[in-house]
Structure 1
Amino acid sequence: MVARHFVDEEELIALLQKDPDCAEEQARALVEQVKGRDYSPPRREKVLEFQAQQAFPIVPHPEDPDAGNVYKDLQFPESVYAHISEYREQKAQAHAEEGSSSHPG
């Protein structure tokens, strides 16, 4: 989900195929699904849930609150930050409208 912001589609598909259980068709389908839904990386809590179900660590030091934060050391394209900002503005506006409708004046 994060890699799509840093490598082109063909390189991403090639990287996914390094998993022996991921055929080219599956890799392409996954990339299309992520593009179509504009997925964001999972939050730390979700990554720790995934880790609990696997035999290998995803987050090397789960006790560290910054561990597993994929945003921490990455510089995303400006469009990603614009999308986040727009989402937060819409959320704040919806919250404000919700508050004003519950307190008629």
Structure 2
Amino acid sequence: MQVFGSIMSQVKVPISEPDIPLRGEHDSLEDKSIEVMFDGLKGRCFISSIPWRSEAIIVVFDEEHPRFGKEFGTKYYFIDTPGVLSYGHDGETIEIYSLK
């Protein structure tokens, strides 16, 4: 495991897609998400898995993100390099780490 730093006794670990839990419509945020550092802000992350919509990665921030607000979500995403989320149609990337 490659570790990149710590935040007040929490360790930042580069995240890969299999690390992100699937969350159905009846699952709680606490049970079916992981704590992450996303673009420098703390939040909870999961992959939304609801039968009538496409899967999407969702981050619910602890504090409002200056660009995305309270939540970030997209169904156009992939993580080829652990810790680097590529999203959208323009090849944008953001750093994402799990907090342990």
**TM-score scaled by structure 2?**
0.21
Question: Which structure: greater helix fraction?
Answer: 1
Question: Which structure: greater strand fraction?
Answer: 2
Which protein has greater RCO, CA pairs closer than 8 Å, 6+ apart? 2
* Structure of larger gyration radius: 1
**TM-score scaled by structure 1?**
0.21
